Structure 1
Amino acid sequence: MAVDYAVSRNVADRLKAGRVKNAFTNRLNAAEADLNRIIMDMYHHPMTYDPSYNAKVDKLRREKIKIKTKKL
């Protein structure tokens, strides 16, 4: 880093430690907030509607019923 060339080693170490610690803290806080959003989202009912998914489910149900009725 440029700090290594601009100041003495002990000062550079302290500056880098402060920056790294701050960056780590910021990333940790962002990750915790994201995790909390995910957890809160898991409590809600999914609000997606996909017609092709519904069509596939209906088709599979009809096939399952057809197989069961053939066995009778």
Structure 2
Amino acid sequence: MVVAQSNDPARSIADVAQEHGLNANMIARWRRAHERAQSTTQAQPAETFIPVHACAGATDVEYRRRVRRRASPLRWTT
């Protein structure tokens, strides 16, 4: 609640701190922590799906070699 109030552009952090009897530096630290937590959860999705096209004549070994050269390897069982 305090962090949400301090994010209001019409209010200063000092006003919110004074209203709640808190130190303005403490609220500023909470705001930064809240922003970091939100940006971390938004930047890293739990799962990412990518399209995979398998060649009809490719063997399992050939396909594994191609996948290992990529930045994020794929693994599955057939």
Structures share a fold, TM > 0.5?
Answer: no
TM-score range, shorter chain: 0.3 to 0.5
When you count helix as a share of all residues, which structure comes out higher? 1
In the superposition, the TM-score normalised over structure 1's length comes to 0.42
Higher relative contact order (CA 8 A, sep 6+): 2
Larger Rg: 1
